[in-house]
C-alpha cells in the first residue's frame, strides 16, 4: 500500500467512526405501559376515592389524581386548562357542580379524535363504597396510558382525552363537552371506553357499526390476540340491549358524530359494591387495552 492509499484509508476510517459515534441507537416500537395502567386502575378505584360520586370529596381526589397524571404523561391541558367545570340540574331540580378533566396530544392535523371515559361513579351507599373499578375506572386509567403512548408516538389526528364527570347522572359531562360547537366541527370520531375490564369469556364489544358501517372494516382489520372482539348492541329494536345512548358516546351520537363504544356486557358486579380492583381479571384488562389501542391506531391512519 503506497502513502496515498494509506492516508486515504486513515481518513476513511476516521470519517466512518465519527459518523457511527454520532448515530443515535435505534429505538424499538413504543409499547403500552401496562404496569402503570394497573397501578392507575388500583388508585382510582381505591376506598380513598370513596366511589368518586360527583360533588364529593372522593370525586375531588380522583380529579386531582387525573390532573397530576396527565401532566406526568405529557398531555397538554385542553384549551389551557385540565379542569373544565360545568353545572347541571339533577332529577330533583337541584343544581350541582361537576368538573371534566381533559388533556390532549397534538397531531399532524387539526382534525380531532376524542377518546372518552367517565371517572365518576356511585359513591357511598348504606356505608358501602361502590368503587366502580370496571365502571369506569377501567376506561379512565386507559386514557392515561394512551396519552403516555401518543406523547411518544405522534398521531396524525389531534387526540383529545376526556375524563367526564356526572355520567352516572345522565351523561352530563359529555353533554357539556359537545356544546362546544367550534371544537365539535373538527371532531371526526368519538371512541368511548366504559367498562372494559370485567369479562370471564374474553369478550369485548365494539358498538356503533350499525350506525356507521364504514367503521367496521377498520375494526375487523386489527389484531385482537386473545380478545374476542364482537359487534352489536346498537340496533333500535334491541331495546334495553341497544347501547347507542347508554354511555357518553350518546352525547356525540345526538350531535351526528361518528362513534365506537368499547365495553363488556353487564356482569355480576355491575353497579354493586363488589366492583372492586380484586375482582378484575388483569390479563383480560391489559389485552382489552391493547386491542382498543390497535383500533385507535387504525382509525388514526385514516
Q: Residue 208's domain is classified under what CATH number? A: 3.40.630.10
292 domain-assigned: yes
Helix axes 138-152, 34-44, angle to 10 degrees: 140
Residue 76 has which C-alpha cell? 397538554
Task: Specify the DSSP element, H or E, that contains 14.
Answer: helix 3-22
d(CA 255, CA 213): 18
Q: What is the pLDDT of residue 29?
A: 56
Per-residue model confidence as pLDDT tens for the chain (302 residues): 443 343 434 333 333 343 333 333 334 457 899 999 999 999 999 999 999 999 999 999 999 999 999 999 999 999 999 999 999 998 888 999 999 999 999 999 999 999 999 999 999 999 999 999 999 999 999 999 999 999 999 999 999 999 999 999 999 999 999 998 789 999 999 999 999 999 999 999 999 999 999 999 999 999 999 999 999 999 999 999 999 999 999 999 999 999 999 999 999 999 999 999 999 999 999 999 999 999 999 999 98
Q: Which residues are CB-neighbours of 180 under 8 A, at least 6 positions away?
A: none
Burial class (CB in 10 A: 0-12, 13-18, 19+), 165: buried
* Placement of cell 380513598 in the chain: 48
277 domain-assigned: yes
- Can the peptide bond before residue 136 be classed as cis, meaning omega within 30 degrees of 0? yes
Strands 187-193 and 112-118, sheet pairing: parallel
pTM for this structure?
A: 0.90
9 domain-assigned: no
d(CA 268, CA 272): 8
16 domain-assigned: no
17 domain-assigned: no
Q: Which residues are CB-neighbours of 195 under 8 A, at least 6 positions away?
A: 134, 135, 136, 138, 139, 263, 264, 270
d(CA 223, CA 220): 8
Strands 228-231 and 203-207, sheet pairing: parallel
Helix axes 138-152, 282-301, angle to 10 degrees: 50
Q: Which residues are CB-neighbours of 35 under 8 A, at least 6 positions away?
A: none
How many domains in the chain?
1
Torsions phi, psi of 38, nearest 5? -65, -40
Pick from 260, 250, 169, 180: nearest CA to 214: 260
15 domain-assigned: no
66 domain-assigned: yes
7 domain-assigned: no
Q: What is the pLDDT of residue 28?
A: 44
* Placement of cell 388508585 in the chain: 43
Question: Range of 255's domain?
Answer: 34-301
Amino acid at each position: 500500500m503506497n502513502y496515498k492509499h494509506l492516508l486515504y484509508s486513515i481518513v476513511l476510517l476516521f470519517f466512518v467512526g465519527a459518523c457511527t459515534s454520532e448515530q443515535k441507537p435505534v429505538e424499538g416500537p413504543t409499547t403500552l405501559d401496562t404496569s402503570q395502567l394497573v397501578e392507575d386502575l388500583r388508585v382510582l378505584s381505591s376506598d380513598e376515592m370513596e366511589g368518586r360520586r360527583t360533588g364529593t370529596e372522593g370525586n375531588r381526589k380522583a380529579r386531582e389524581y387525573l390532573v397530576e397524571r396527565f401532566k406526568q404523561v405529557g398531555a397538554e391541558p385542553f384549551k389551557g386548562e385540565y379542569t373544565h367545570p360545568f353545572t347541571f340540574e339533577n332529577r330533583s331540580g337541584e343544581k350541582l357542580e361537576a368538573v371534566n378533566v381533559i388533556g390532549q396530544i397534538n397531531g399532524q392535523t387539526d382534525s380531532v379524535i376524542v377518546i372518552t371515559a367517565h371517572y365518576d361513579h356511585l359513591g357511598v351507599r348504606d356505608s358501602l363504597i361502590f368503587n366502580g373499578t370496571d365502571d369506569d375506572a377501567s376506561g379512565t386509567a386507559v386514557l392515561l396510558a394512551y396519552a403516555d403512548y401518543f406523547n411518544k408516538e405522534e398521531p396524525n389526528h389531534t387526540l383529545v382525552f376526556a375524563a367526564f364527570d356526572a355520567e352516572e347522572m345522565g351523561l352530563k359531562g359529555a353533554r357539556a363537552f359537545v356544546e362546544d360547537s367550534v371544537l365539535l366541527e373538527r371532531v371526526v370520531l368519538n371512541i368511548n371506553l366504559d367498562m372494559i375490564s370485567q369479562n370471564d369469556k374474553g369478550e369485548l364489544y365494539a358498538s356503533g357499526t350499525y350506525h356507521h358501517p364504514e367503521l367496521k372494516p377498520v375494526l375487523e382489520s386489527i389484531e385482537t390476540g386473545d380478545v374476542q372482539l364482537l359487534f352489536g348492541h346498537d340496533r333500535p329494536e334491541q331495546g334495553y340491549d341497544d347501547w347507542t345512548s347508554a354511555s357518553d358516546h350518546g352525547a356525540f351520537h345526538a350531535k351526528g358524530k361518528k362513534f365506537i363504544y368499547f365495553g363488556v356486557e353487564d356482569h355480576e358486579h355491575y353497579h354493586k359494591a363488589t366492583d372492586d380492583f380484586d375482582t378484575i381479571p388483569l390479563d383480560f384488562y391489559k389485552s382489552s387495552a391493547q386491542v382498543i389501542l390497535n383500533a385507535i391506531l387504525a382509525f388514526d391512519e385514516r
